[in-house]
Copies of this chain bind each other. A is one copy, B any other.
Amino acid sequence: MKTTLSVGLIGIGNMGSAHATMVGSGIIRGLQLAAVCDIDPQRLQFCMEKHPGVRGSTNWHELVQNPELDVIIVAVPHPLHADIAMEALKNGKHVLTEKPVDITVTKAKLLNETAAASGRVFGIMFNQRTNPLFAKAREMVRSGQLGQLQRSVWIITNWFRTQSYYDSGTWRATWAGEGGGVLLNQAPHNLDLWQWICGMPVEITAFCDIAKYHRIEVEDDVTIFARYENGATGVFLTSTGEAPGTNRLEITGTLGKLVIEEGKLKYWKLRQDILEVSRTHPDSFVAIEYDYEEIVQTEQETAHPGILQNFANAILHGEELLSPGTDGIYELSISNAAYLSSARGNVPVSLPVNGDEFDTLLAKLRENSGIKHNDPNSKYNTAYHQRWQVRW
């Protein structure tokens, strides 16, 4: 049995180059960087010089078909994720894709089927799942500790980006190149955690504001209203135009409330189910009895390296994936539905989302999309950065 997996990395832009540094440095046990791919020969050259012995190619097909590679990491623009991942899986590779898993539910479903048929390990880079506070919240909601879900509210507006950021890549913030804005690029982490913790909504109404704060053709400010199966409601607010922004998740259930913000999980534990109090208490106005506790995040989330290590362990030792690639469909269902709702005039859209209808909408948007010209000032980042970790 193998103890070291040869990794082919496709896409060495912002995130890809960070992955190259991480895997190339040898700190992920069981993963060894063997080949990299980028359509930009200069990036490729730079990366190969930085990682001697690593093979380079400008053709991703070469990597997914290379019998010497065990693992493919996909870090290209989102609309290419599924095509590359599927071909890699079909060629017997284990695959880890950047988020989002792709840009349409249709593609995500196809990828799910391919992954299921492949028998290979398929992971997605939802690195914020490694944050212990979100994991704790998930446990509290899923175990019933909070009672029946009543409401979730996530204000996640600390994704500030400059115009310079949007100008840093030709594909960024275009329908054709990226397939969306903040919902497709920054918020997938939070949309994923939202559903990971609270479960999937059954209906979405959204207000996607296009080019509100930047010269772009996609949305940079969004309000989503969600309805859950039991009637509970949720609100999700995000933007790349506010500062310092807020990262505050509140979840209310019939047995208590939790708030995650500023690196703390605050927990109000009711001594009795609130609906029971409501139904049976003889008084009109009741002071609710509860116990309060705070859980402070003491250890750093393991973030990208944590997901990479878990992915390697899943292949080598059968460890359970913290972030299975198949889960990519969920947050994408929310964002696809949000675009549909917004396009239809902010009306409620049922989930599961109608993939054909979304594909038609996106095709129309992409028809008129102007892929931006290459910016010579675009920077080549080579290190993981705090900015991809949870910020409070």
Which of A30-38, A81-89, A130-138, A207-215 contacts the other chain?
A207-215
Number of interface residues of A (CB under 8 A): 60
A282 contacts B by Cβ under 8 Å: yes
Complex Cα gap A379–B231 (Å): 33
Q: Which of A153-183 contact B (CB under 8 A)?
A: 153, 155, 157, 160-165, 168
Complex Cα gap A286–B379 (Å): 14
Complex Cα gap A275–B209 (Å): 16
A239 contacts B by Cβ under 8 Å: yes
Q: Which of A267-291 contact B (CB under 8 A)?
A: 268, 270, 274-275, 277-279, 281-286, 288, 290
In the complex formed, the residue of B with least CB distance to A253 is B242
Q: Which of A331-384 contact B (CB under 8 A)?
A: 345-348, 377, 379
- Selected A-B contacts with CB under 8 Å, 19 pairs: A151-B157, A151-B242, A153-B155, A160-B274, A160-B278, A160-B286, A162-B279, A162-B285, A162-B286, A205-B207, A209-B231, A212-B231, A223-B225, A225-B225, A235-B235, A241-B274, A245-B257, A246-B257, A347-B347
Given A153-B237, A205-B205, A284-B379, 5 other A-B residues pairs in contact with their CB atoms under 8 A? A151-B239, A162-B279, A209-B231, A244-B288, A346-B348
- Taking Cβ atoms with an 8 Å cutoff, the residues of A that contact B are 150-151, 153, 155, 157, 160-165, 168, 205, 207, 209, 212-214, 221, 223, 225, 227, 231, 233, 235, 237, 239, 241-246, 250, 252, 257, 259, 268, 270, 274-275, 277-279, 281-286, 288, 290, 345-348, 377, 379, 385, 387
